[in-house]
Structure 1
């Protein structure tokens, strides 16, 4: 990027150039190197993930008539996409993902690149309709126009193409009926229509004229406006591996026909209004990820999933499931993420969970689990697990070509396709650090945590939980736990969030916990803890609400000083002085009022002979009938206790 390099007129002619990821530390907008103007024999150009600005360099195509692959993704190219009228029959792959290109897709794109195989124009600002001519491109196999502002309907002729393998139109403004798009798929395998405005029901369509099974393996219709019951004809799509219908308005039960989908790997029906129970026959042997959270599904956790031994994620949060954790869960040896939050589950926490050594995230919060916390949970290793994230199923490239240039090109293209291919990504939601966060990608691989909060758990906290060396979050709050905080928690070196609030814990906060250098959120509020709060490391930074509600806990964070022994709290000199003054003022006021009242009575009796006679008559009767005055005794006792 030196100025001398910009002005150089080279004597060489390149066939292959890759200047990927050459951004400067200043992230300045850069212009394309001028020496490229003098190249006319290029076959492969990769200028991706820089900060090149200006309009799309169409002159690269004009100057290099033999160009096959043009990769410009991850730059800052702007303006409309202007193409030359001269056809370039050698171009097979164009990738302009993640730029700022505007306007409509050029109508001559098909005639300019008649042999185009892969077109990636996602994450730009394209508007208008999808060009119908794309349906006539015989070699087009991968088309990604997602994350733009395209409108209108999906051309049915486009999905009928036998050559089209992948079609991604996610996050646009497309609308219409998706059923014909799905059932007209001829050779199409990957269909992503999520984040659009597709609406209507999927059941009011005559499917008898269509041939099953279709070629589709992946269908993503999430985040649309679909409603009604789930279509039973999906059960006839035996090749289907991944289905995402989340965040729509589907209602009713899960069709029993879904039990025929034995190739399922990913299944997401979350954020709908589904009810009823999960069919007990639903046991796809290769199923890895299940998301059914935030519906109205109910009943006990029957035999569904009991034979899905490849299951990695089971997310059933926010439903109405009852009963306990089934014993067959111990057979799911690959299970890594178990989310059962906010249901109506009860009984004891199953010890079968302790045999699942792949478990790294457990959320059983907001249920009615009772009894003690199984001490065997401390045996879990909470390992980092790459299986928690989905990986694409593309076959590895074959390097049988003898041409070194083709070998290099194939490797870079494969890496590029792998990056662009992972469209259905696995992510889970987990509550930690007093908030709910979504974890996906590499972060999900490393995340580990246990949440048993808001239940009815009793007994002491097992010392064995201190063996969870890799745990990042532990929440045992809002239970009925007793006993002390285990000092073994000092071995949780990776922990970032520890919540033990709203229990009946007693004793002191172990000083050994100051060794937890990664601890960012800590709460022991509303227990029966006593003694002084550790005043070392991050413990002095935790706010007052982390410790409140413990009557015998003291420390600067609570504005309560501690005794020299640190075991009990004492009253400060100012508080003792204020208390003494209050008592002194009361006694003086009472005695003054008593004297004034007594003198008043004496004066009245002295002046008025009638009242004097009545008074002595009353006193005589009291002496003869009452030896003790109860009122007088009580009043005297109160004055004695208060003043003396």
Structure 2
């Protein structure tokens, strides 16, 4: 029996199946139907005008399919309809102005997650039977009409549209709230992710006391939070984050004794966290006050919130000690985030009471003392961030008890001792960072420590051993022989030691005199170098960076830190590289960079503005270099870390950047008075300005070719590893001298990385298989299989265009890609003599640029 023969069928529900294709036309002949549901399937196509033939329908549900097109006008004339569901499809178009007049019996109206546009029909003011109204996740615009007559309204959801005036001072945006005051049964109101602006009106406190959920996040709400909001005593969920709210958190929030989830983050709220509020919210499970301007201590009354699962107080100005009452909340299971504040004191041993916590972040504070061994009792911990504090002592071996730990970050503390060997037994660990501490001893070899790309140990000069890719020094052999007791020839030994002592004393005195003479010579050389550069004082740099505040820290490097700041003498933001003079080679890096920038000027090189060679407030040597600030960050960020910006570099942009880098190298290799080898060309050392013009930076290990080719034997031997793993040419690993051919290898690898989107240190590259080989295998016939998927992404009427379509739109694209890959391969061959030089690269790039600019292909 076929469905069209069921003439008397009244109820048809085929929801939650795997139906595909279109709705069969025979359905529209079932004139007795009162309920029709196709929800939760995979149906496609549109709804035809024939639906209007089903005069008896009261319920229609086509939610959660793949239907598209505009809704037929006949649908809006079916006056018997009480429930109409089209949510979760691809319908578009605007709704008829009079639709709620022609559909007078509607009770439930679910049109969310589509592409509907235009205003909300004004006729909704007459939908007196409406109980559930949901149009969230669409493109509706304008103001919300009067809702006074919707006295049975239970749920009102208009979230994620474009409603409101897009003004932070508008007073009309909230008039609909005044009309909702009449809806005594109202339980849920969702208006987040719109353009509602201006202060919240006081009459918001007159909404139904039945209201349990109110979401107003991600709008343009400004001014104070009205005290009257506290009248909504039955709220269990309140979300006002990501707005422009100011002033203090109202004490009236202490009335929210049923509150379970409270989100006030990403505003400009100030003052202290009211102790009375936390003392009364005993049902609270999630609390987020992050990214505000809150000050003072964390109230101990938070200990009354026995049901808290997640707390986020990060990015405020909170101070004082971490209250033990907070750490005693065994209910905390999702996260505790206190990062980027000014909390001080020790990390209390009570932290071990957080046995169920999944993420603990107390980074970027002023904590001191040791890491308590009790932290090993937090058995469910997956993310532990204690970086950017002043913690000292040893890393507790009890951390090895955290079998589910995924990330451990202890960056920039004062930790000492060795890395506990037991940490290599944490099989789940994916990231381990202890950079810039005072650690020493042997690095473990197993577990996370086998993967050098997932371990950061920079700034711990006394560490040794580990896997080869960590490039640490070898550990001294352990002394397994016992010293023999002196039983014979005691007098002879005393004589020998006396002679040895005199010889040693003579040697030490000679060495001290030699070092003093060398120091004077080096100081003269240093002074000569920096004398030719404009200078700035330590006090000016200290003031420009707010005391070298962590909030102004924009990067860390091998020999120092980079801060953002504003000098009194400059009208623009600058980048300030502060050398870590405790780091081996930092002094040489300072001299090398000053030397490199002393006489070079090029639009594709970062400009050095000034430098500082002085002492800090503690009397320690202080050296810094001040550069232009590049607003668009580094090429590294654009290639690998800018997913959150939802923008990637197009082929044209990448080609312009490559040309800029090549121009800089051409200048260094051929146009300087003395040719310069950069030695460390990589994406993080290529910075981008306002116009996305490339600027090569970081000349800390640059060398003059004339010096390299001369008789100065220490120019290469003192370098250690010359550059960065993955970008350093293979011959440098065999103690070959630095050369322009070495820079060409780095340029070739960088170019291949820009084309494929893969770092040369990618996990897939091991056992002799590298980025060069990866490309060589695919070249020239299969390059589209390895090209970065985002490289050719483009927009065409807001529709993503695939690589193949992009190439069809511009026939020269594939040819240009092939030429670029060829350049990258030619630069990165193993033999230095076989690499092409930068002049040849410039010629090829000019040809590619012209070809890509020709729309005819």
- Of 387, 394, 412, the residue aligned with 1:502 is 412
Determine the structure 1 residue equivalent to 2:296.
323
- TM-score, structure 1 normalization: 0.65
Q: Deviations over 1:491-524 (max 9, x none)?
A: 2122222111111222332232233232222211
2:266 aligned to 294, 302, 314, which one? 294
Structure 1 position 271 matched with structure 2 position 242: yes
**CA distance 1:302–1:529, shift in 2 (3 Å):** same
In 1: Cα distance, 2:344 partner to 2:164 partner: 49
2:36 to 45, 58, 73: 45
- Partner residue in 2 for 1:103: 93
Q: CA deviation at 1:72?
A: 0.8
Deviation per CA, 1:260-304, whole angstroms, max 9, x where unpaired? 443333333433444433344530222222222233333333334
The answer on whether the counterparts of 2:432 and 2:454 sit within 8 Å (CA) in structure 1 is no
Cα displacement (A) at 1:95: 0.9
**Structure 2 partner of 1:434:** none
Q: 2: distance between equivalents of 1:182 and 1:22?
A: 40
Give the match's secondary structure for 1:276: coil
Structure 1 CA distance for aligned equivalents of residues 145 and 235 of structure 2: 28
Aligned partners of 1:70 and 1:336: how far apart in 2?
40
Residue 253 of structure 2 corresponds to which residue in structure 1? 282
Give the one of 204, 207, 224 matched to 1:234. Answer: 204
Instruction: Report the alpha carbon displacement of residue 477 of structure 1 after superposing the two structures with TM.
Output: 1.0
Q: In the alignment, which residue of structure 1 is the partner of 2:336?
A: 362
> Which of 305, 311, 318 matches 1:345?
318
**CA separation of 1:368 and 1:168: change in aligned 2, threshold 3 A:** closer
Identify the match of residue 76 of structure 1 among 66, 74, 91.
66
Equivalent residue for 2:178? 183
- Structure 1 SS opposite 2:271: strand
Matching of residues 469-488 of structure 1 within 5 Å: 469-488=379-398
SS in 1 for 2:254: coil
Question: How far off is 1:94 after superposition?
Answer: 1.7
2:371 corresponds to 1:465: no
Match of 2:471 in 1: 559
Tell me, in whole angstroms, the C-alpha distance in 1 between the residues paired with 2:222 and 2:79: 50
Where 1:52 maps in the other structure, the secondary structure is strand
Query: After the TM superposition, which residues 526-605 of structure 1 pair with which residues of structure 2 at under 5 Å, given as runs?
Result: 526-543=436-453, 546-554=456-464, 555=466, 556-563=468-475, 565=477
Alpha-carbon spacing, 1:49–1:259, altered in 2? closer, same or farther (3 Å): closer
Spell out the pairing of 1:351-500 with structure 2 (5 A cutoff): 351-360=324-333, 361-382=335-356, 448-500=358-410
Q: Which moved more, 1:91-100 or 1:161-170?
A: 161-170
1:22 to 11, 17, 26: 17
Conserved 8 A contact 1:330-1:353:
yes
The alpha carbon displacement at 1:10 in A equals 6.3
Q: Is residue 394–residue 418 contact of structure 2 (8 Å, CA) maintained in 1?
A: yes
RMSD over aligned CA atoms reads 3.4
Partner of 2:107: 117
Q: SS at the partner of 1:91?
A: coil
Deviation at 1:97, TM superposition (A): 0.8
Deviations 1:611-637 (A, max 9, x none): xxxxxxxxxxxxxxxxxxxxxxxxxxx
Residue 233 of structure 2 corresponds to residue 262 of structure 1: yes
Unaligned runs of 5+ in 2: 166-171, 480-510, 519-857
- Per the TM alignment, residue 78 of structure 1 is displaced from its structure 2 partner at its CA by 1.8
1:169 is aligned to: 158
Distance in 2 of aligned mates of 1:154 and 1:296: 27
In 1, distance between residues paired with 2:458 and 2:50?
A: 69
The change in CA–CA distance for 1:513 and 1:34 in structure 2 (over 3 A counts) is farther
Query: C-alpha offsets along residues 382-435 of structure 1, whole Å, 9 cap, x if unaligned?
Result: 26xxxxxxxxxxxxxxxxxxxxxxxxxxxxxxxxxxxxxxxxxxxxxxxxxxxx
User: 1-side partners of 2:181 and 2:324: how far apart?
Assistant: 49
Cα distance in 1, alignment partners of residues 436 and 9 from structure 2: 72
Partner Cα distance (1:261, 1:311) in 2: 16
Secondary structure of 1:184's counterpart equals helix
Question: Aligned pair in 2 of structure 1 residues 542, 76: CA closer, same or farther (>3 Å)?
Answer: same
Are the counterparts in 2 of residues 354 and 377 from structure 1 also a CA contact under 8 Å?
Answer: yes
3-state DSSP class of the match of 1:543? helix
CA distance in 1, matches of 2:407, 2:311: 19
Partners of 2:262 and 2:106 lie apart in 1 by: 37
Match of 1:437 in 2: none
SS at match of 1:481: strand
Q: SS at 1:287's partner residue?
A: coil
Distance 2:385 2:470 in 1: 23
Quick one: structure 1 residues 350 and 221, their matched pair in 2 at CA, closer, same or farther if it must change by over 3 Å?
A: same
**Contact in 2 for aligned 1:371/1:458 (Cα 8 Å):** yes
CA 268–140 in structure 1, closer or farther in 2 if over 3 Å, else same: closer
How far residue 542 of structure 1 moved from its aligned partner, in angstroms, is: 4.3
Q: 1:227 to 1:185 in 2, by over 3 A?
A: closer
Q: How far did residue 39 of structure 1 move?
A: 4.7
CA distance in 2 between partners of 1:335 and 1:350 (Å): 15
Aligned partners of 1:179, 1:97: CA distance in 2, in Å? 26
Task: Measure, in 2, the Cα distance between the counterparts of 1:459 and 1:488.
Answer: 17
Contact 2:178 2:204 in 1 (8 A): no
The number of residues matched between the two structures is 470
Once residues 229 and 107 of structure 2 are traced to their aligned partners in structure 1, the CA distance between those partners, rounded to angstroms, is: 34
Query: Using the alignment, how far apart are the partners of 1:39 and 1:318 within structure 2?
Result: 58
Q: Deviations over 1:516-540 (max 9, x none)?
A: 2322222111122223333323332
SS in 2 for 1:295: coil
Residue 520 in structure 1 maps to residue 492 in structure 2 = no
Distance 1:564 1:544, change over 3 A: farther
Q: Does residue 32 of the first structure (1) align with residue 23 of the second (2)?
A: yes
Contact kept in structure 2, 1:472 and 1:496, CA below 8 Å: yes
Deviations 1:221-275, CA, capped at 9 Å, x for gaps: 4444555544333344462544444444444444444444433333334334444
Mapped contact 2:154–2:188 kept (Cα < 8 A) = no
Q: Looking at both structures, which has the greater relative contact order when contacts are Cα pairs under 8 Å and sequence separation is at least 6? A: 1
- Is the partner of 1:550 in helix, strand or coil? coil
User: How has the CA–CA distance of structure 1 residues 291 and 146 changed in structure 2, closer, same or farther, with 3 Å as cutoff?
Assistant: closer
The answer for unaligned runs of 5 or more in structure 1 is: 190-214, 384-447, 568-582, 591-644
Call closer, same or farther: CA 1:525–1:279 in 2, change over 3 Å.
same
Q: Is the 8 A contact 1:10 1:35 kept in 2?
A: no
Q: What displacement does 1:486 show?
A: 2.0
Contact 1:455 1:479 in 2 (8 A): yes
- Judge which range, 291-300 or 304-313, deviates more: 291-300
Alignment deviations for residues 41-99 of structure 1 (CA, whole Å, 9 cap, x no partner): 4443332232211111554562x544332221122222221143896454321211121
Cα deviation, residue 451, structure 1: 0.7
Q: Which has the higher helix share?
A: 2
- Which residue of 307, 310, 323 maps to 2:280? 307
| Structure-2 change in CA distance of 1:58 and 1:566 (3 Å) | farther
For residue 298 of structure 1, give the secondary structure of its aligned residue in structure 2. Answer: coil
TM-score (norm 2): 0.50
